[in-house]
A and B are shown apart, each in its own frame.
Chain A
Amino acid sequence: MSPSAVLVVSAVLFALGVLGVLTRRSAITILMSIEIMLNAANLAFIAFSRQFDHADGQVYAFFVMTLAAAEAAVGLAIVIALFRLRESTDVDELHLMRW
């Protein structure tokens, strides 16, 4: 197993996450795609941490994990507030602030 193999997996996962954010319409699925992207970044961090035999990359991955938890909590609260207002989580219907 070489570093570039792990990084390619990380890049593929990140691209799948980008694709989910760009093509899906349900707000919750978009949040889940963002989780995939954050995980792909974490995988790259840990691969580099292993490559240079240094704990810093793992600490960054730890911070990204706490960030993902905060993002999930606030994002899902927004989705709940949105659903209460519109009875839908379809982002295509939320174009009030779009020019």
Chain B
Amino acid sequence: MELVAFVILTALAVVSAGVVLLHRSPVVAALSLAANLIAVAGFYLLLNAQFLALLQVIVYAGAIMVLVLFVIMLLNLPEEARRHDRPSAQSVLGMALAVVFVAVLGWALARASSGQEFPPSSPTFGSVGSVGTALFTTFFYPFEAVSLLLVVAMIGAVLLAKRRI
């Protein structure tokens, strides 16, 4: 059962990421990215991290993707023009680097792991309580710094996008 869900989620995540990469229409790419984010939220559920899965769907697939779609529709972006020239050296090199990256990482993982399953987790793992406790005790100062970061990002976004200040 778990394996079936894992295979389906993997296929969904990889295919939707591929569509983001290959499709020339920005709207289709954005919707496919939302599918990818929801597939990753499914992985979080499989890994017992319910709170993060919830945040992923609400914040990522909800708020951030709405922002991206809003900008795409505001700018009324056309489909990306088809390349008529042959693939550039940069894209060939990029593909080669991506393949090398996966190969190296796969090799390292195959060497390091003995293929064992995840150990059983404690009953409170992934709950709002356990994550919140860590957030407000060990990570209290980073948490406050992140709130400052969000304020700075908000002011920066308004300043950048405003026509006249």
- State the interface size on chain B (CB cutoff 8 A): 85
Q: B131 to A19, Cβ gap below 8 A?
A: no
Q: Which interface residue of A32, A33, A71 has the most chain B CB atoms within 10 A?
A: A32
28 contacts between A and B (CB under 8 A): A1-B118, A2-B117, A4-B112, A6-B47, A11-B102, A16-B17, A22-B90, A22-B94, A22-B97, A23-B95, A24-B21, A32-B68, A42-B40, A43-B43, A46-B47, A59-B138, A62-B55, A63-B139, A63-B142, A65-B55, A65-B56, A68-B60, A69-B64, A74-B156, A74-B157, A80-B74, A81-B161, A89-B75
Residues in A whose Cβ lies below 8 Å from that of B121: 50, 53
Q: How large is the interface on A (under 10, 10 to 19, 20 to 34, 35 or more residues)?
A: 35 or more
Determine if B8 is an interface residue (Cβ-Cβ < 8 Å): no
Chain A, residue nearest B47 (CB) = A50
Do the beta carbons of B160 and A78 come within 8 Å of each other?
yes
**Shortest CB distance A41–B (Å):** 11
* Contact residues in B for A55 (Cβ distance below 8 Å): 125, 130-131, 133-134
- B165 at the binding interface (Cβ < 8 Å): no
- Residue pair A65, B106 in contact (C-beta under 8 Å): no
Instruction: Enumerate chain B residues within 8 angstroms of A19, measured Cβ to Cβ.
Output: 21, 94-95, 98
Q: A9 within 8 Å of B by Cβ?
A: yes
Collect the chain B residues with CB atoms within 8 Å of residue A9's CB: 10, 13-14, 43
Question: 1/0 per residue A68-99: CB within 8 Å of B?
Answer: 11111110111111011000011000000000
Interface of A is mostly: helix
B125: which A residues are within 8 A, CB to CB? 50, 53, 55
Q: Mark A5-27, 1 if CB is under 8 A from B, else 0.
A: 11111011111111110111110
Q: Mark B56-87, 1 if CB is under 8 A from A, else 0.
A: 10011001100110011011010010000000
- B156 in complex: contacting residue of A20, A49, A77, CB < 8 Å: A77
Q: Given contacts A4-B109, A6-B47, are A35 and B21 in contact (CB under 8 A)?
A: no
When C-beta atoms are compared, the residue in chain B nearest to A49 turns out to be: B49
B36 touches A67 (CB 8 A): no
Chain A residue, CB-CB nearest to B116: A2
Q: Are A50 and B13 in contact (CB under 8 A)?
A: no
